[in-house]
Structure 1
Amino acid sequence: MSIDFHQKDRNALDLSGKVVVVVGGGQQPGPGMGNGRAICILAARHGAQVVAVDRNLDAANETVDMITAEGGSAYAIEADVSKEADCQRIFDETMKTSGRVDGMVYSVAVNPPFDFESNSMSVENFNYGINVNMLGCYHCNLFAAQCMEKNGDDTNGSIVNISSIASVKNELGLNIGIMPYALGKCGLNRITELTAVQYAGVGVRVNTLMLGPIDSVLGNHDSQSLFGLDAGEVKEAYADVVKLKMGRGSVWESAYAAVYLLADESRFMTGQQIRLDGGATLVR
């Protein structure tokens, strides 16, 4: 299929007619916004029908309400991605309602509770963290790709897995609180590459968007609980990590990067890790 990239009046990053599933499209309570919600809103602004998926249905519906208030199209699905059956149901329901899947963003992360003083975590909590951060990604990648290969175009769909520089940086030391997250994101990076290889022949693209210090609800909340910092100390810690003068990035910058990966403009890119980190990983 020929893409009119050469046209002067081309509508860039146009997602019109595409169905985009955002797993993690709600967010936890707190001031500000999360990456998943921002991606939902921006994808809808670029013309996609958005499926906001979250364990918290009320949070997903809040995202849907924000989209429809702007005239966009969206609906919510409740799912716990630590369960394979729930991951399958996400795409079964989307296919039943919308008839196709063109894009999927896996924007889910969890830092399970742990004892800060003893640096210990229950096996159940550790396993839950791995199930959400990594196995849920595997299942959603698989089921999304299976839907996308039915679309019948040369570029059948795009999967974007949201990772973190915690998967490649180790200044944090042996803090058990971060382990399920960091290990899960390491696995997510590899899942991206494996899925990209497996489904390249049917036109499905898969890329990792690796985020650094983003000013998000989850990032601000969990940084305090993981390392015993107050809000001001979190801001200072992030300032030490980012190399660029601008400081921390915003969830909207994450969202624009994700929309680029979902759109036809990135149709020749697959299996890649794109670091949106303000230069934090320039020196490891």
Structure 2
Amino acid sequence: MTTDFARKDRTAFDLSGKVVVVVGGGQMPGDTVGNGRATALLAARHGAEVVAVDLNLASAQETVDLIAADGGKAYAVHADVSKKEDCQRIFDEVMERSGRVDGMVYSVAVNPPFDFENNSMETEAFNYGINVNMLGAYYCNLYAAACMEKNPGPSTGSIVNFSSIASLKNEIGLNIGIMPYALGKCGLNYITELTAVQFAAAGVRANTLMLGPIDSTLGNHDSQELFGHTPEEVDEVYSEVVKLKMGRASTWETAYAALYLLADESRFMTGQQIRLDGGAALVR
């Protein structure tokens, strides 16, 4: 993995020898691939050993099996990121099995039941949402960075947190769930910046990939369940907020953006919020 970027024989976005933990590496059932699974598959195709972490161990194992069928290397870890001790256990297990952590992607989000008319929800549901969307990110960032700073060299690791333009704009089609999804993503944005500052001297980078209208299993499911849209209406609602005339992005486009942030090509980038939203967050 040379960082001589001018070499003609250099392989771009080479993750060979790196261990990449994808928190949210499984997915819910659906017709499309999720952001976490797409990122795990792509990281493995570029040479990484991938650790697929999910609350649904069977789904994480499906991702591992797909990677193995591609000739890649991966294993699954079960964890409930709403619990601090589970977040710690993820990285304890990875260090024990793989001996290092080079990349971590936090691709987890939940939308607990929410009363849109009264702008309210049950306290337990609110707390669970915050624990998954924000506190889980905080602990995974902290424990991942603590592992990465043990790596030798000037660039020791990269953290990529999947956020949403729901943390910027309050519109149906952008702000699915409203609370605590959007609130959690606001916190995740700040957590990323804090992590970037705290671990910069150790060579650890942390960046936010802020997603807009992505054709993902979670986005499709929650748009239909929370708002009562048909699959066709989901496409229409999302397309209305996109500036570029291309509809929604695929999760593979999310994965390629994450690949750049994980690879050495982005080694001079940290603490940034990169919008992958088709221009939806532009001022109108």
TM-score band (shorter)?
over 0.9
Conservation of the 8 A alpha-carbon contact between 2:235 and 2:247: no
- Quote how far apart the aligned CAs of 1:178 are: 2.2
**In structure 2, distance between residues paired with 1:176 and 1:100:** 36
**In structure 2, distance between residues paired with 1:282 and 1:119:** 26
**In structure 2, distance between residues paired with 1:170 and 1:249:** 20
Structure 2 residue aligned with 1:247: 247
- Quote how far apart the aligned CAs of 1:45 are: 0.1
Partner SS state of residue 244, structure 1:
coil
Structure 2 residue aligned with 1:112: 112
Q: Does 1:14 align with 2:28?
A: no
- Quote how far apart the aligned CAs of 1:224 are: 1.5
Partner SS state of residue 158, structure 1:
strand
- Quote how far apart the aligned CAs of 1:248 are: 0.6
Moved more, 260-269 or 230-239: 230-239
**In structure 1, distance between residues paired with 2:148 and 2:92:** 12
Partner SS state of residue 105, structure 1:
strand
TM-score normalised to the size of structure 2? 0.96
Structure 2 residue aligned with 1:169: 169
Structure 2 residue aligned with 1:24: 24
- Quote how far apart the aligned CAs of 1:117 are: 6.0
- Quote how far apart the aligned CAs of 1:228 are: 2.4
Conservation of the 8 A alpha-carbon contact between 2:41 and 2:66: yes
Structure 1 residue aligned with 2:215: 215
**In structure 1, distance between residues paired with 2:66 and 2:5:** 31
Structure 2 residue aligned with 1:68: 68
Conservation of the 8 A alpha-carbon contact between 1:214 and 1:250: yes
Conservation of the 8 A alpha-carbon contact between 2:133 and 2:181: yes
Conservation of the 8 A alpha-carbon contact between 1:192 and 1:208: yes
Query: What aligned pairs does 1:126-275 form with structure 2 within 5 A after superposition?
Result: 126-172=126-172, 177-275=177-275
Q: Deviations over 1:131-166 (max 9, x none)?
A: 000000000000000000000211000000000000
**Runs (5+) with no aligned partner, structure 2:** none
**In structure 2, distance between residues paired with 1:184 and 1:4:** 39
Give the letter for the 1:258 counterpart.
Answer: A
Q: Report sequence identity in percent.
A: 77
- Quote how far apart the aligned CAs of 1:282 are: 1.2
> CA 1:2–1:27 in 2, change beyond 3 Å: closer, same or farther?
closer
Give the letter for the 1:22 counterpart.
Answer: V
**In structure 2, distance between residues paired with 1:188 and 1:115:** 23
> Number of paired residues?
283
- Quote how far apart the aligned CAs of 1:114 are: 3.1
**In structure 1, distance between residues paired with 2:96 and 2:36:** 23
TM-score normalised to the size of structure 1? 0.96
